[in-house]
Structure 1
Amino acid sequence: MSNDMRKILLNDAASCVAVHPKFLCVGTHLGIIRILDHNGNHVSGKELPVHSVAVNQISIDANGDHIASCSDDGKVFVFGLYNTDNNQDIVIGRLVKTVAIDPNYYKSGSGRRVITGDDRLMIHEKTFLSRVRSTLLVNAGQEGGVKSICWSPTGELIAWSTLLGFRVYDVTSRVSLGFVKWSKPAEMNLKCHMCWRDSCTLIVGWADTVRVCNVNQKLPHLMNPTDATPYEVSLVYTLAMNFVVCGVGPLEDSLVVLGLINDGDRPQLHIIEPLARTEYTNMLPDRLSLRGYNQYTSSDYSLECLVEESRYVIVSPKDIVVAWPLDTDDRIEWLLQHQKFETALEVVTEAVDSKNKPLATHSKLTVGTAYIDYLLSIKNYQEAASLCCKIFGDNVRLWEKEVYKFARAHQLRAVRRYLPLTDNKLPKHIYEMVLYEYLKMEPQGFLDVVKEWPANLYNIPAVVNAVIEHLLTTDPMSKETILEALAILYSLDGKHEKALVMYLKLRNKGVFELIEKHKLYDVVPSMVMGLMDLDVQQTVNCLIAGKDTINHDTVVENLKPNSQYLYRYLDELDRKSTKLAQKYHGELVRLYADFNREKLLPLLRKSEHYPIQATIKICKERKFIKETVHLLEIIGNTKEALSLITKELGNIEQAVDLCISRDDLELWEDLISYSLSTQSFIIYLLKRIGTYIDPRILVERIESHMKIPGLKDALVKMLQDYSLQVSVQEGFKEILVLDYYNLHHRLVSMQQRGISIGGK
């Protein structure tokens, strides 16, 4: 205990102490009683220089209104702290070693009782007209005098001791409940320390022994009419220590014992857990460092306690220490002092979650903030940032305050991943601070953040201005990355054309995503060549996706310098929408001829929207025979077409099909002429020609000396086909003649019928 207490003990020494929940009283060797708060601060006007020699004992009533003191000067004083109505000044004339004030002294009608101990046990009480009546309770001279007195909390019982043992006395009945004798011969300089745990449990410490007694009321059916008191005492524990007991007190079901092994040693505070009548466990011995301990004996120490608060005051002449059981707050404080922040956070989290006993001085916020500050001090920025989410949650004010700590360390990048982005967003300038740090120190990270963060987190124009300004001084190596981020910012700000230009400048394929996302198809024609240079397929996809809105003439015109690009575009357009592509079929013919001949003939067959003469020229120049034949057939130049089929293609089947489709005898004769020099052609014609023209035309023109394999079979097939044709024609003729006669007969019959002529 420090503050004023330390000053007092510099010039004086403590002889005794009494404690109350409101304050504590210190008696000194100079005979002064000082009243202080529990922090050791002097209470103004509460210094009582009442005794001429050292104060032996001080006692306080239950309400903290009155104080009793005694001394070897033979005087006993009772002081009212708030009034003097019940003050007492008792002159004993003997060495008064102990005094105890009735806990109920503050109550009117209580008798205002005080008990003193010298060679006798005396009770002093106020009577009618405020006179003090002193009554001898016990003469203890033969037992070495009264050494200590202790009232029970109810004021019905007192415990007192001598050199031979201790007793419990029923003040109301004025009778002793029993005597417990010391197990060893008494020593004059040993103190007896007594404390009531409650109204029925007494703890006594003397020499090296601690005893615990129960004082219980007898059951009504067990009482005798001759019993002077309803109480009885039973000894519960007798615990032998390996040290001299200097003070005792209760701690829940355990005992607090102040002990000293040898004079001049450090005193020790023990937590004793009784197990059986004589057995116990010493759970927590703690050696104390008190000023001047090496000069003191066991009689120089004492222990006072506030049972309800589990607070203990350890008294020595030059030092007073206040102790209490370590609660969760104390444990957390110790962990913080020893930089065990992670454990402290676990403890406080567990305490908050359990909701058993609220913390008084610490919280998850205070411990977490201390931990974050520590991590920042050792430059463990990542862990500090990850901790922010757990500690600050959705508290915007706390987040904002903490972000500035990272800003001062230029480590906003560490906390970026943990900033709230949706609910409970921070002020915009916080997010802008993070972006500015990335811009200056990590351009790639700046780009990543711009891609990741929603645009409503920050002021886009402000960031754009900062980027443009930074580009003036930036490293050329990172310029491309920053320009890409600038393109994204332009897009987020609705300036899509600027963004497109930026993407094209960077040759970044993100331009296609931008076009598709914002349906910017109308601007594609003007920059189609740049887009094609970047990615042909994606550009074509964009053109087709916007086919209903873009100007295709502009696209075609701009793509003409690069036939490959134009081919890819028109080919896809024709595949997706032939109607839109019809006007460009002439151009597509040329492109197919250059890049994909396989698609040329299907186009020529399905379309009529191309210049046929120019197309024929293209096909002839490239010697595309099939395509040329098709075109010649279209314009009716069957002779040239037949010539190409037989001479260039050597396809007699196609030649026959052409002649069949035209049904032109002259064309058949041309085919026969082309075929006379080729045996396979003659055989094929003999097999097919019989059903279309007179086969004699072919047979008569075959040279007589020509050897033709398979001629016999071919002639048989030809004659069969011709015979079949003649038979079919005759059948048709018979049917025709029969139909003629039938119809003629019907006509004559109708004409021969009478006609009804009716009169008027």
Structure 2
Amino acid sequence: MQMAPLPSENGIDGDDEREDEEEEEEEEEEEEEEEEEEEEEEEEPRLKYQRMGGSIPSLLSNDAASCIAVAERMIALGTHDGTVHILDFLGNQVKEFAAHSATVNDLSFDIEGEYIGSCSDDGSVVINGLFIEERMKFDYHRPMKAIALDPEYSRKASRRFVTGGLAGHLYFNSKKWLGYRDQVLHSGEGPIHTVKWRTSLIAWANDAGVKVYDTANDQRITFIERPRGSPRPELLLPHLVWQDDTLLVIGWGTSVKIASIRTNTQNGANGTYSRIPVSSMNQVDIVASFQTSYYISGIAPFGDSLVVLAYIPGEEDGEKDFSSSLPSRQGNAQRPEVRVVTWNNDELATDALPVLGFEHYKAKDYSLAHAPFSGSSYAGGQWAAGDEPLYYIVSPKDVVIAKPRDAEDHISWLLQHGWHEKALAAVEAGQGRSELLDEVGSRYLDHLIVERKYAEAASLCPKLLRGSASAWERWVFHFAHLRQLPVLVPYIPTENPRLRDTAYEVALVALATNPSFHKELLSTVKSWPSTIYSALPVISAIEPQLNTSSMTDALKEALAELYVIDGQYEKAFSLYADLMKPDIFDFIEKHDLQDAIREKVVQLMMLDPKRAVPLFIQNRDLITPSEVVLQLMSAQDKCDSRYFLHLYLHVLFEVNPHAGRDFQDMQVELYADCDPKMLLPFLRSSQHYTLEKAYDICVKRDLVKEQAVEFVTMQHDDDLWEELIKQCLNKPEMVGMLLEHTVGNLDPLYIVNMVPNGLEIPKLRDRLVKIITDYRTETSLRHGCNDILKADCVNLLVKYYKEARHGVYLSSEEGEARAKRDDHRASSQDTVKPLTLKNSEVKSRTRGPARCCICFDPFSIQGLSVVVFFCCHAYHEACLLDSLYTIDSKKGSKDGSSQRTMSDYGYDDGNDEEDEDEDESATNRMRMKKGKGSGLSVGDLDPTTEWHAPTEDVDDHRGGVRAIDWRSSSRIDRDLEFEIAVDLGLFNKEAIEKERARLKDEMNRGYFADISEFKLHGGKVAAANKIIIPAMAAKKFPDIEVTRYDRGSFKLPISCKGNMADANTPTVPKVSLVCLSFRANSQPMVDSWTVPFANAFNDPENVHLYEVSLIDQWLLCLRPIKWLLLRVVRKTKHDGGKDALERQIVYSFGDHYYFRKELKILNLLTA
């Protein structure tokens, strides 16, 4: 029952028209929603298709395909004329076999793809080798419909295969000793329609159903009945596919079954389950089964799903239509479909194939084959690269290849359907080639621009355009054309990639011409490098807006920044001053813009008067005080101009009291208003103000201050003091005030004596006490200061006296070397020539300048070795040593070998007359000090301590051992080592004696009094402290590069006949002797053992000597100093006798640490 609509107030007619329009709009909206739902519900295809080319079109132009088989490396195609074609995966024919005279019904490869088996309606089975010339043919005299080779046919010698046909027998053929033999596995249930072999399992189908046979134990496993209601097998063939070793897929008519063959399990001894071998499989379970609404022309696995080649029957299709295999002349068949379904028959994808001539074909005219047989690594809807399965749909005149869609196909499909975000996400996830990002990005940006989503498109540009400069420039100009460039500016790159200057200039101009983006312009100008664009085009676009309403502070500051970039600093300063930028003063100093401050006085004072005032005063030659005052006075409405005038005039007056003379009347008033405390100093020091005006100002503002005492004090006039005292005596309070301020200026007794008797002064007692206290304090301070001054004078005089008593040791390198030789000779003698104090006293009385005060001999400049004092006394080093030796002998020293050098001693001359008479006091005053002269001088040690400069082996903080030797070190090294020695407490008698014994032992090393011991051991002597390197050990001596005095260089050890070593003609020496010298002069050491060594062998022609001086000091290793040293130290030939050898003196410069380490030399001096 329907209710009639009620009329409204507007009338029926009008309502009908409006209702019709509303209904039309609702219908349109519903249609749009339905279309959107359809788009949302549209699923992406799972497969993509391609028609096989190559040789296929020509082969099928005169023939028709009947079956196909796929191996790992090739494809086999059987035709109705009995030919087997071997093709590659592109469809190109590789080989063909004219195997049969009738239709090829089935093909089968072994697992290696080396053999192909075929069966035909002519009753024959042919097996051909693909890589060898091998062909076997078997005749069964009845049409054969199915064949399957043993998967291991090429590996086993049994050459097994199984075949069957219309005879109803399933033959199992194998090679025996006497030839091939057929075994009937099954018969009696109708023709064999198909057979498949996997591992040891054979599955076949006949009219009754599907059976599985296990060749491992020669028994049948299971039987699966034919689906009920399915057409006869010869009209609608069954299809068998092994998905894996235990899963069999069966497609028959409209039924699909999946059988799982499982192993039996039995309990083990401990209650666990044990797995039965493959040969014990004997149970089959149907794990999935479903019916279809179409005929199954082929089936294959697709990961966890199935691919089904579906034939859609028409209304007239019935069993009568299957009576003939010939194509229908009516041509009303539908296209075959490829459907992806799950095991529950849920369709995932459906695709209709435009197969050539599909209108005339029936279900049995199509076949489906797939590769690989072993399955694919299917995970998450995608296969690994190279593992995608391929599906071949065969019709009589066409072959179509189907394969899963890859990531690029997925992205293309998304783009086709307008899902750009999903496509972009897929590309960013690494799916597909990286080049797809450019295409996807371009299409995505185009889509956003069409949708007018400019901001979103701009934000995606960095991700989509990446480092392509051309792409960036194209989109910059595209946004500019759309007048949307300001939204893109924040994302434009300035490097990697860097665009052309024009692109950046267009972007900045776009910001400048849009007032809503002026702040963005300012931030962009500050952030972008100034080298990537030219500022002039942007300036030209902004300057016309200066005097318009569109000129904002942000635009003005941006223009100032552009002026700075373009070098127009004065214009930039003008804008900065108008904008009141705090850093404008730094800007002025940086760019030297003092000339530009003339018109910006008020702005600078308002910004920072403390910095502006000194700036104006320093540049008053550029901007006069009159100009500054005039501008400040004219800016009364803008700022506190009077305060600024006061600041400026006050500093100007302090700098130059006469510079602002015209404004000092105004300055009096300014001081009175702004800083009254400074008025009085100004009035006292200024001479250019009007007294009457100043007086009137002071009276009006009550600025009269009593400062009589201060005035009199400043004048330093006694008459004024007397006048002030007279004025104060009539007023008791003034007398008290005067008493408080007289300390330090006037004698208080003078004032007290002048006070009349009987005058009462307020607080007189307290004021008198204060006067007395202040006087005592002043007196105490004066005495203390005087004592400090005296003490300082005495201390400085004592210090000067002590410094003047210190002696300075002056020597040269030659003098040091000569002193060492003298020490050596002195130590080998039993007696020393004494020098008595009496003789010393006589000579000292007649000493003079430039002569030794002991021996009176003049000083030699070349061989300088002198100790001098500031009192003008000087002594030879040798004279002082002899004197000291005599003093030590008198004191009863038991150590006769104690020899002292000037590097060990310094002298305190003291009072000459008194010190010469007292031997003991002279000895006690010998002291040591680090001097600023040549190494050591008399110092501040205890004068009663007698000591020797140590050469003790000291363990340093690194755990190693080194030697401290004042005589072989540089001046700086001596100072440092001396401090170390003092810190380690080495100044003791035991250390001194040990050092003396070591030096004596060192000079005796290598000396052989009895050469027979040397001959006895054949030159191999290592006794006591004696060390020698004979020729037999020369091969172990490390190579070292040395330099002669003539700058020639070669390597040691080396020897040749003649007097000079020649590096170009080396010979193996009979005897090679090398002396390593670590001293400035090692002649005594070398002579002590090299000459006896040469005389012992008595063959000077074949014995060669080298003295190698190892020089480690870096200063001496410098090239100019090195060459100079080689010239200076050039030595003469040795003249030790007729059997003596010429000594080759060579030098090695550099770091010899590893050289010494290889020779196991721990101490340089004992090398």
TM-score bracket for this pair, using the shorter chain length = 0.5 to 0.7
Distance 2:279 2:591 in 1: 110
Asked if 1:262 corresponds to 2:313, the answer is yes
Q: Which residue of 1 aligns with 2:245?
A: 199
Change (3 A) 1:146 1:560: same
Change (3 A) 1:339 1:184: same
Change (3 A) 1:252 1:456: closer
Asked if 1:64 corresponds to 2:113, the answer is yes
| Aligned partners of 1:571 and 1:588 also within 8 Å | no
Equivalence map 1:600-619=2 (5 Å): 601-608=676-683, 611=686, 614-616=689-691, 618=693
Partner secondary structure for residue 600 of structure 2: helix
The more displaced of 313-322 and 585-594 is: 585-594
Q: Which residue of 1 aligns with 2:182?
A: 135
Q: Which residue of 2 aligns with 1:121?
A: 170
Partner secondary structure for residue 348 of structure 2: coil
Offset, 1:150: 0.6
Distance 2:509 2:395 in 1: 65
| Aligned partners of 2:512 and 2:542 also within 8 Å | no
Q: 1:463 aligns with which of 509, 512, 534?
A: 534
Change (3 A) 1:517 1:183: same
| Aligned partners of 1:175 and 1:228 also within 8 Å | no
Distance 2:671 2:733 in 1: 40
Q: Which residue of 2 aligns with 1:177?
A: 221
Change (3 A) 1:543 1:512: same
Asked if 1:332 corresponds to 2:402, the answer is no
Q: Which residue of 1 aligns with 2:496?
A: 426
Asked if 1:107 corresponds to 2:155, the answer is yes
| Aligned partners of 1:574 and 1:582 also within 8 Å | no
1:398-443 CA deviation, whole Å, 9 max, x = no partner?
343532332453557554322456xxx3255x26343222255443
1:117-162 CA deviation, whole Å, 9 max, x = no partner?
4422223445569x6x25142453x43311001111x2x1211111
Offset, 1:195: 0.6
Distance 2:132 2:454 in 1: 65
Q: Which residue of 2 aligns with 1:491?
A: 564
Asked if 1:436 corresponds to 2:487, the answer is no
Asked if 1:316 corresponds to 2:408, the answer is no
| Aligned partners of 1:438 and 1:446 also within 8 Å | no
1:21-70 CA deviation, whole Å, 9 max, x = no partner?
434333334444444444xx233533555444443222222222332223
Q: 1:288 aligns with which of 349, 352, 374?
A: 352
Q: Which residue of 1 aligns with 2:699?
A: 626
Offset, 1:210: 1.8
Where does the alignment leave 5 or more consecutive residues of structure 2 unmatched? 1-49, 269-276, 315-332, 377-387, 636-640, 709-723, 735-754, 769-1167
Distance 1:548 1:541 in 2: 12
Equivalent AA in structure 2 for residue 177 of structure 1: I
Q: 2:68 aligns with which of 9, 12, 17?
A: 17
Partner secondary structure for residue 196 of structure 1: strand
Offset, 1:181: 1.9
Distance 1:145 1:557 in 2: 129
| Aligned partners of 1:586 and 1:609 also within 8 Å | no
Offset, 1:608: 3.6
Change (3 A) 1:92 1:453: farther
Equivalent AA in structure 2 for residue 62 of structure 1: I
Asked if 1:237 corresponds to 2:307, the answer is no
Equivalent AA in structure 2 for residue 17 of structure 1: I
Distance 2:663 2:678 in 1: 9
1:73-123 CA deviation, whole Å, 9 max, x = no partner?
333333333x23433334443322222222222325352645354422223
Distance 1:197 1:179 in 2: 18
Change (3 A) 1:419 1:390: same
Offset, 1:544: 4.5
Asked if 1:343 corresponds to 2:422, the answer is yes
Q: 1:251 aligns with which of 302, 308, 321?
A: 302
Change (3 A) 1:451 1:229: closer
Offset, 1:232: 1.0
Distance 1:594 1:727 in 2: 44
Equivalent AA in structure 1 for residue 247 of structure 2: T
Partner secondary structure for residue 113 of structure 2: coil
Distance 1:499 1:614 in 2: 41
Offset, 1:572: 3.5
Partner secondary structure for residue 509 of structure 1: helix
Give the structure-2-normalised TM-score.
0.46
Partner secondary structure for residue 215 of structure 1: strand
Distance 1:507 1:730 in 2: 73
| Aligned partners of 1:62 and 1:103 also within 8 Å | yes
1:713-746 CA deviation, whole Å, 9 max, x = no partner?
xxxxxxxxxxxxx99945579x99xx9xxxxxxx
Q: Which residue of 2 aligns with 1:386?
A: 459
Offset, 1:531: 1.7
Q: Which residue of 1 aligns with 2:143?
A: 95
Where does the alignment leave 5 or more consecutive residues of structure 1 unmatched? 275-279, 353-358, 636-660, 669-688, 693-725, 740-760
1:563-620 CA deviation, whole Å, 9 max, x = no partner?
5268564434478898558666756644457889733755423524764663435558
Q: Which residue of 2 aligns with 1:562?
A: 631
Distance 1:18 1:603 in 2: 116
Partner secondary structure for residue 534 of structure 2: helix
Asked if 1:189 corresponds to 2:239, the answer is no
Change (3 A) 1:691 1:258: closer
| Aligned partners of 1:525 and 1:551 also within 8 Å | no
Change (3 A) 1:537 1:213: same
Change (3 A) 1:269 1:629: closer
Change (3 A) 1:201 1:561: same
1:688-711 CA deviation, whole Å, 9 max, x = no partner?
x9999xxxxxxxxxxxxxxxxxxx
Equivalent AA in structure 1 for residue 285 of structure 2: L
Q: 1:371 aligns with which of 428, 438, 441?
A: 441
Partner secondary structure for residue 122 of structure 1: strand
Offset, 1:191: 0.7
Partner secondary structure for residue 284 of structure 1: strand
1:269-325 CA deviation, whole Å, 9 max, x = no partner?
444444xxxxx3514251423324443332223332233344433333344444445
Offset, 1:387: 1.9
Percent of pairs identical after alignment? 24
The more displaced of 583-592 and 299-308 is: 583-592
Q: Which residue of 1 aligns with 2:892?
A: none
Q: Which residue of 1 aligns with 2:329?
A: none
Offset, 1:546: 5.2
Equivalent AA in structure 2 for residue 57 of structure 1: D
Offset, 1:167: 0.9
1:199-223 CA deviation, whole Å, 9 max, x = no partner?
122111112222222333445789x
Change (3 A) 1:64 1:144: same
Asked if 1:304 corresponds to 2:369, the answer is yes
Distance 1:605 1:228 in 2: 123
**Number of equivalenced pairs:** 618
| Aligned partners of 1:268 and 1:285 also within 8 Å | no
Offset, 1:464: 4.0
Q: CA RMSD in A?
A: 4.9
The more displaced of 586-595 and 112-121 is: 586-595
The more displaced of 305-314 and 334-343 is: 305-314
